[in-house]
Amino acid sequence: MEEFIDRALMTSANNLRIVHGRGTGVLRNTVKNKIREYREVKQVYHPASDEGGDGVTVVEL
């Protein structure tokens, strides 16, 4: 994930969709914690349920 975010920053991407699934929430929490390390992140949220809901994390850079 770190490489994915770094590449997005280098290519001036504005939005990222990280698909981690629903499961127990361990991976979702790991994703949130990693994202907090980047000061370029403006907003983090889960899309509507028909777009993945809490199984997807959207990151706005």
Average pLDDT value for the chain:
95
Question: Hey, how many other C-beta atoms are within 10 angstroms of the C-beta on 47?
Answer: 14
Instruction: Give the strand pairing for 56-60 and 43-45.
Output: antiparallel
* DSSP secondary structure code for residue 22 in this structure: S
2-60 CATH choice from 3.30.1370.110, 3.30.70.100, 3.30.1280.10, 3.90.226.10:
3.30.1370.110
Domain layout of the chain by residue ranges: 2-60
What is the per-residue pLDDT for 52?
96
Whether pTM exceeds 0.75: yes
